[in-house]
Structure 1
Amino acid sequence: MIIRIVGEGQYRAPEALCDELNQIDNRIVTLVTEGKKEEFRAELAKLISEIKVKGEAIGAEEILESDIIVPPEDLSLEEAKDIFKGSGIFED
């Protein structure tokens, strides 16, 4: 799976990582729904960190279509309400 982090580039993620990211994504949806700003920001930072650490960075010269687009870490809670809803950005 190819994941783009807005403003930071693309990463190739193995299937096992995608399962882990989906769990974090589901927690983010719950936190956003409950309006828990600090907890949401911590989980979004964790999501981005996991992608960077466990994914494989794709060079800028390689142009690939992204399967998932992850918003930047400075996303506001209000903006998150439009993105992290339903099943979130990772489909179950």
Structure 2
Amino acid sequence: MIVRIMGEGQVRLADSHFAELDKLDDELLAEVRDGDADGFRRTLHALLDKVRELGEPLPDDSLEPSELILPAPGATMEEVREMLDDEGLIPSP
């Protein structure tokens, strides 16, 4: 799957990594719902770091369609709230 982190670029991520990412996504969803700003910031950065760690960066000149778009590291809780659905940022397989 091609994942874009807003403001950074794209990575190719194997489907096998989504179970691990889904746990962080669930935490992020709960923190946004609870208004936990500190937890939100910590978990958003952990999620994006894990995507960078597990993903294979695509070249900057690559124009692959993104199947999943994640917020920028500096996104506000409100900006992320607008991107969320009932499952979080990452859809269940």
- TM-score of the pair, normalised by structure 2: 0.92
Give deviations 1:38-89, integer Å, cap 9, x for gaps. Answer: 1011000011101111110000122100010000011111222212341112
SS of the residue 1:41 aligns to:
helix
Equivalent in the alignment of 2:5: 5
CA distance in structure 2 between the aligned counterparts of 1:78 and 1:91, rounded to whole angstroms = 20
CA distance in structure 1 between the aligned counterparts of 2:82 and 2:17, rounded to whole angstroms = 24
List, as ranges, runs of 4+ consecutive aligned residues in structure 1 with deviation greater than 3 Å: none
- TM-score of the pair, normalised by structure 1: 0.93
Equivalent in the alignment of 1:50: 50
Equivalent in the alignment of 1:91: 91
SS of the residue 2:57 aligns to:
strand
Give the unaligned 5+ runs of structure 2: none
1:47-86 matches, cutoff 5 A: 47-86=47-86
Please, which moves more after superposition, 81-90 or 25-34? 81-90
Partner amino acid, structure 2, of 1:2: I
Give the unaligned 5+ runs of structure 1: none
Partner amino acid, structure 2, of 1:80: V
Number of matched pairs: 92
- Aligned 8 A contact 1:3 1:68 in 2: yes
Give the percent of matched residue pairs that are identical in Structure 1 and Structure 2.
28
CA distance in structure 1 between the aligned counterparts of 2:80 and 2:8, rounded to whole angstroms = 18
